[in-house]
């Protein structure tokens, strides 16, 4: 699945990534809506779909940022995929002692670094994603999370939402992506 997408030009690939990101957001929100309405089984099923979409998104980001730094892009993808696996296992109560944020926090940090270094996306998106990653990691420290949780969630949703919207509307700077890809 990665190779046909990798063969397309960077502009449509950036928009495809934005569409998958949007689908992830919509299914994740719908999952929370169902759970809040006491429809937990349906919410869990939709959460599994959201998790699968996030795994696809992870692979799309891996391909997008491979020209920036293939090693860091791979490590970031591995963090995210482990987070996705833990999220899926948590639906079945098989890994409830491990928080997926332990993996999604570093993923967002690394993704922020890759965006910042990329030159084909605005650096401010990289800074916001790195801050979101730090925020997700703060959830692992209950005293801090208790007082800052709403701010952390707003920052994380804002950063990821802005990245998603940028990819949907603008995509990536094709010329700069091509320069990075040819240099790699």
In this structure, is residue 180 part of a structural domain? no
**Count of domains in the chain?**
1
Selection from 56, 69, 71 nearest residue 17 by Cα: 56
Per-residue pLDDT of the chain (184 residues; tens, 9 = 90+): 444 544 455 668 889 999 999 999 999 999 999 988 999 999 999 999 999 999 999 999 999 999 999 999 999 999 999 999 999 999 998 988 889 999 999 999 999 999 999 999 999 999 999 999 998 888 888 777 677 778 888 998 999 999 999 999 999 988 888 888 888 7
Directed axis angle between helix 101-118 and helix 70-91, to 10°? Answer: 150
Domain for residue 167, yes or no? yes
Domain-embedded: residue 183: no
184 in a domain, yes or no?
Answer: no
Domain with 165 in it: 2-174
The answer to whether position 127 is within a domain reads yes
Assigned domain for 70 exists = yes
């Amino acid at each position: 699945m990665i190779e046909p997408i990798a063969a397309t030009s960077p502009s449509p690939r950036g928009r495809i990534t934005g569409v998958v990101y949007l689908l992830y957001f919509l299914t994740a929100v719908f999952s929370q809506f169902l759970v809040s309405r006491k429809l937990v089984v349906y919410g869990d099923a939709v959460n599994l779909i959201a998790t699968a979409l996030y795994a696809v998104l992870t692979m799309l980001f891996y391909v997008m940022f491979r020209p920036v730094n293939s090693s860091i892009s791979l490590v970031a993808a591995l963090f995210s995929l482990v987070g996705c696996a833990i999220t899926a296992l948590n639906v079945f109560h098989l890994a409830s002692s491990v928080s997926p944020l332990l993996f999604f926090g570093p993923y967002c940090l690394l993704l922020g670094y890759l965006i910042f270094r990329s030159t084909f996306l605005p650096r401010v998106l990289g800074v916001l994603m790195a801050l979101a990653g730090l925020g997700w990691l703060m959830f692992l420290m209950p005293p801090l999370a208790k007082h800052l949780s709403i701010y952390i969630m707003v920052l994380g949703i804002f950063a990821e939402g802005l990245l998603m919207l940028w990819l949907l509307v603008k995509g990536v700077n094709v010329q700069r992506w091509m320069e990075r890809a040819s240099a790699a």
